[in-house]
Amino acid sequence: MEAGVGLALQSRAAGFGSDRRRSALYGGEGRARIGSLRVAEPAVAKAAVWARGSKPVAPLRAKKSSGGHETLHNSVDEALLLKRKSEEVLFYLNGRCIYLVGMMGSGKSTVGKIMSEVLGYSFFDSDKLVEQAVGMPSVAQIFKVHSEAFFRDNESSVLRDLSSMKRLVVATGGGAVIRPVNWKYMKKGLSVWLDVPLDALARRIAKVGTASRPLLDQPSGDPYTMAFSKLSMLAEQRGDAYANADVRVSLEEIASKQGHDDVSKLTPTDIAIESFHKIENFVIEHTVDNPVGDSQADSHAQRIQTL
Ligand SMILES: Nc1ncnc2c1ncn2[C@@H]1O[C@H](COP(=O)(O)OP(=O)(O)O)[C@@H](O)[C@H]1O
Ligand SMILES: O=C(O)C1=C[C@@H](OP(=O)(O)O)[C@@H](O)[C@H](O)C1
């Protein structure tokens, strides 16, 4: 049984409900607002926080980072490229939402927040919306007190409600892809599969712990090994479900384009840029009547080049 997610979203949209609920709906994480979009921090500066390597480095306004000029240059270049790509994509998206899908720990929330900020879209994490709809503080607790099926019903309701909105980036839960009805909702926008090798996922999850991810939570054992074996099982069960996404962003491919094979060197900004690139190609390839018009697209491309 679902907990009236649709009604909850509507009543909150009309200004009812608790502040906690309202801030989660309109700000995702308390930043942007639907209706009057607001980006709290300049996206370029924010993006520059993630420079090469897996750790955040100092923002631009700070003194030189330990990586020196080269690191600073890399982060500035990345941030500018991200900005430029987002401007191109914004045009092609025409208000459509972006749904990020992928296994647990694939970076949907991390990359999704960067994409939403630079686009000026609102960000939502569907797990958080389910928690609010049900009135429980964590997905883990929902699984424990109710069941996975109860969680999945509410997840579908949240996706249904989001699908009627515009200009959102949504980080879906890793298992949202298994229900065909969820694809009906996500296909109202553009879906992006963050395809991350299992060993990298297991490393990330072992680092942050499994308490918030009930399907991986194990009372004992080496965290990396346990996460790896559970993730492998889930990946097998889910088969090709992720491949329903409109575009696939493979971290292995990005790493190989950059001339190495270490996906742990990729920053979330690298991944956001590649996601924009793939979305743009997808829209161009799938625009049957070319409603944008070639000349309009050309002049847009020229404008972008001069930025
Ligand atoms: N490109 C990346 N490099 C290194 N760590 C990352 C990267 N993207 C995400 N992470 C880390 O991996 C963990 C899971 O990321 P998250 O965005 O929460 O994934 P998801 O939303 O897909 O479950 C977080 O601790 C996050 O900081
Ligand atoms: O893969 C899954 O089935 C799940 C992924 C989780 O979301 P994240 O992918 O954000 O961790 C969360 O929805 C729930 O624990 C189930």
Q: In what order do the strands lie in the sheet with 168-171?
A: 122-125, 168-171, 98-101, 190-195, 247-250
Interface ipTM: 0.99
pLDDT digits (tens, 9 = 90+) for 227-270: 999 999 999 999 899 999 999 999 999 999 999 999 999 999 99
Contacts of 192 (CB under 8 A, 6+ apart): 98, 99, 100, 101, 245, 246, 247, 248, 249, 275, 278, 279
How far is C-alpha 59 from the chain's CA centre?
22
Ligand 2 site, residue 238, Cβ cutoff 6 A: no
Name the band, by pLDDT with cuts 50, 70 and 90, for residue 290: low
User: Rounded distance, CA 102 to CA 114, Å?
Assistant: 17
Residue closest via CA to ligand 2's atom 1 equals: 174
pTM greater than 0.90:
no
Please give the CATH number for the structural domain made up of 95-285: 3.40.50.300
Geometric angle at alpha carbon 48, from 104 and 302, rounded to 5°: 100
Is 134 within 8 Å of 3 (Cβ atoms)? yes
User: Does ligand 1 have an atom closer than 6 angstroms to the CB of 112?
Assistant: no
pLDDT-derived band of residue 72, with 50, 70 and 90 as boundaries? Answer: confident
User: What does the buried/exposed string (b/e) look like for 288-305 if buried means 16 or more CB atoms within 10 Å of the residue's CB?
Assistant: eeeebeeeebeebeeeee
197 lines ligand 2 (CB under 6 A): no
Q: Is 17 helix (H, G, I), strand (E, B) or coil?
A: coil
Structural domain spans, the chain: 95-285
Higher pLDDT, 139 or 58: 139
Looking at per-residue pLDDT, the higher value among 20 and 122 belongs to 122
Which ligand 1 atom is nearest residue 194's CA?
22
Percent of the chain topping pLDDT 70 = 72
Asked if 172 and 87 count as a contact pair (C-beta separation under 8 A), the reply is: no
Give the Cα-Cα-Cα angle 183, 249, 261 (nearest 5 degrees): 150
More confident residue, 129 or 211: 129
Please state, in angstroms and rounded to a whole number, the distance separating the CA atoms of residues 51 and 286. Answer: 33
Q: Is the pLDDT of residue 8 over 80?
A: no
CB of 175 shorter than 6 A to ligand 2? yes
Between the CA of 162 and the centroid of ligand 2 the distance, in Å, is 18
Name the more confident of 131 and 216: 131
Distance 20 CA to ligand 1 centre (A): 25
Under the banding of pLDDT at 50, 70 and 90, the label for residue 17 is: very low
Look at residue 287 in the predicted model and tell me its pLDDT.
Answer: 84
* Whether residue 175 has its Cβ less than 6 Å from ligand 1: no
φ/ψ (deg, to 5) at 47: -65, -35
Query: Which residues, including other chains, have CB under 8 Å from residue 73's CB and lie 6 or more apart?
Result: none
Ranges of beta strands (E only) in the chain are 98-101, 122-125, 168-171, 190-195, 247-250
Angle at alpha carbon of residue 218, lines to 207 and 56, rounded to 5°: 15
